[in-house]
Amino acid sequence: MSGGERKPAGGTASGGEQQASGNASYGKKPFKRSRSHFADRVTADGGDGWPVEAGRYRLVVSRACPWASRALVSRRLLGLEDALSLAVTDPIQDDRSWRFTLDPDGRDPVLGIRYLSEAYDARETGYPGGVSVPALVDVPSGKLVTNDYQQLTLDLATEWTALHRPGAPDLYPEPLRAEIDEVMEGIYHDVNNGVYRAGFASTQSDYESAYKDVFRRLEETSARLADRRYLVGDSITEADIRLFTTLVRFDAVYHGHFKCNRRKLTEDPVLWAYARDLYQTPGFGDTVDFDHIKRHYYQVHTGINPTAVVPLGPDLSGWLTPHHREELGGSPFGAGTAPGPVPEAEEVAAAGRP
């Protein structure tokens, strides 16, 4: 089969990954998130052979995927829109995974490919793993550079500084990195990945274990945020980005679809206010597409939602209501400034906004 038709393998998920046996396999086998297979880094010194260079790379994302959404937020906050072009996939995968059917003729206009898997194949012929987003692709060669969703945003913050906009915030400040890393590790295991372990659990005991982890960590995080505006320090850091991308999906998909239903986000006053604060901060909510999110989870995961019916709710209007978190002090961008307007071509359609 050609690159665009290859079916990825595995029963694991790395980033926004498609499983080999198709959408119906979700929830029918034990869930384990795989490590990123392609972990090259784009750095200032080009140590892995990929130097930071304006216009050279293309960021491929799905607005449905929380792992890819981290990169969307980081790119906006840092002002990298002109330096790092953006490709947005269709939220509905087929068994060949992420596809560019939102673009004219079903091809990405820059890379010229129909499926993200073609960039994977250009990098490694016969690669047996899953096709995941976010993915950074080298435009001249058409080859995948990295699908390491954990490292990608850290590098955008620390290695791409020469291309940051004036006033870009420091999302990974060196004096706070140890604390940021510790906070992110717990949130990753219990919340970011925990909702997936619950949603894709194939046994009652696996589900219950993941469910308990999710809400234990959310309760601890709520207590942490009760008297501080942000997770670490007095401004937004990488830790806030990683928590936000799960919280913003919680009531829309994780509460019902993934059975994380002890309580809704809107029923935790602290986390709900915190999430609204971030959503209303430029660079966060303007990257979120609730339409893509709901259609992806409910229509792709037919193993756990065989009818593929997409719920009409929840009511999204609350995301725009006052949060009063500014009363806790702190400044969202630290010594920096807010990003500029969203480029017109990247605006989220009305169907995906409150």
Largest CA distance in the chain: 58
Residue 98 annotated as part of some ligand binding site? yes
In whole angstroms, what is the distance from residue 227 CA to residue 231 CA? 10
Beta strands in the chain (DSSP E): 16-17, 57-61, 85-88, 132-133, 135-138, 143-146
**Is 27 in contact with 303 (CB distance < 8 Å)?**
yes
- Calculated CA dihedral for residues 155, 159, 161, 162, nearest 10 degrees: -140
Which of 26, 57, 65, 127 is the catalytic position?
Answer: 65
Task: Name the 3-class secondary structure at 164.
Answer: coil
Residue from 26, 127, 149, 196 carrying the catalytic annotation? 196
* Joined tokens for residue 226: 């009760």
As a whole number of angstroms, the distance between CA 294 and CA 177 comes to 34
**Active-site annotation holds for 196:** yes
DSSP codes of every residue in 34-78: PPPS-B---BTT-TTS-B--TTTEEEEE-TT-HHHHHHHHHHHHH
The strand order across the sheet containing 85-88 reads: 85-88, 57-61, 135-138, 143-146
The rounded distance, in Å, linking the Cα atoms of 227 and 265 is: 18
Active site residues: 65, 196
Binding site members for glutathione: 98
Residues belonging to the binding site are 98
